[in-house]
Amino acid sequence: MILIIEDEKDIVDLIEYHLKQAGFSVVAAFDGSSGLEQARKKRPDLIILDLMLPEMDGKDVCRALKSNPLTQSIPVLMLTAKSEEMDRVVGFELGADDYVTKPFSPRELVLRVKAILRRKVTPSEGEKVIQIGDLLIDIDRHQVSIKKKAIQLTSTEFKLLVELASNRGRVQTRERLLDKVWGYTYEGYARTVDTHIRRLREKLGKVGDLVETLRGVGYRFREERE
């Protein structure tokens, strides 16, 4: 089920029509606070969130979603009328999983929704739990802990960590990470990987030092702490 949070009824109708054509069930909320309520009650698979909403804007809604344990793992696709890079970065820092700028093609939007939902975690050799020093990643439960203390990650940060950790010792280019974690790539998009890596490192604290930057190449999760 997909939740659309957008105050413009025409846009909701347009998105709803195309998502239903693609086989999704859809619910809609026309302002931020009822959107949050729906998200908590219905736990949708994905939320399409408009940035420009009356009263509580999309950024506040996104912050609220990502700070609530009930809703923080639900992927968020943001809609925005602005196309500047800055807004993308801000959106990703808020924990949004992807962006579509208005005016958008409904087909493109549906493809993005499918790509986000397809981004399944793909650990190597069927690993279910990855333990590296004090870091424990439980893939089925979507839980990460360090010295048994839970670390709250967004769904994108979690997938990024799993991708890096299950390929530990091997260099991962930004393009590969984009492809594996986001499901597609396009020009100029690679810096969003950097933004997510930075956030992930911050959340992991000392363990985050294991994520090495290889300038001009990409990232590598070190096998062991030296």
Instruction: List residues near Ca ion by CB under 5 A.
Output: 7-8, 50, 52
CB of 7: closest distance to Ca ion in angstroms? 5
Six token digits for residue 136: 């424990």
CB of 226: closest distance to Ca ion in angstroms? 50
Q: Is 8 or 127 the residue whose CB approaches Ca ion more closely? A: 8
CB of 52: closest distance to Ca ion in angstroms? 4
Number of Cα atoms under 13 Å in the Cβ half of residue 154: 27
Q: Is 27 or 146 the residue whose CB approaches Ca ion more closely? A: 27
Report the run of H or E that residue 77 belongs to, with start and end.
Answer: strand 76-80
CA distance 77 to 2: 10
Q: Is 81 or 214 the residue whose CB approaches Ca ion more closely? A: 81
CA distance 65 to 137: 22
Q: Is 8 or 60 the residue whose CB approaches Ca ion more closely? A: 8
CB of 8: closest distance to Ca ion in angstroms? 5
Would you say 6 and 35 are in contact if contact means Cβ atoms under 8 Å apart?
no
Residue 1's alpha-carbon distances to 47, 75, 107, 148, 185, in angstroms, are 9, 12, 18, 33, 25
- β-strand pairing of 2-5 with 46-50: parallel
In one letter, which amino acid is 56?
A: M
Q: Is 26 or 52 the residue whose CB approaches Ca ion more closely? A: 52
CB of 189: closest distance to Ca ion in angstroms? 24
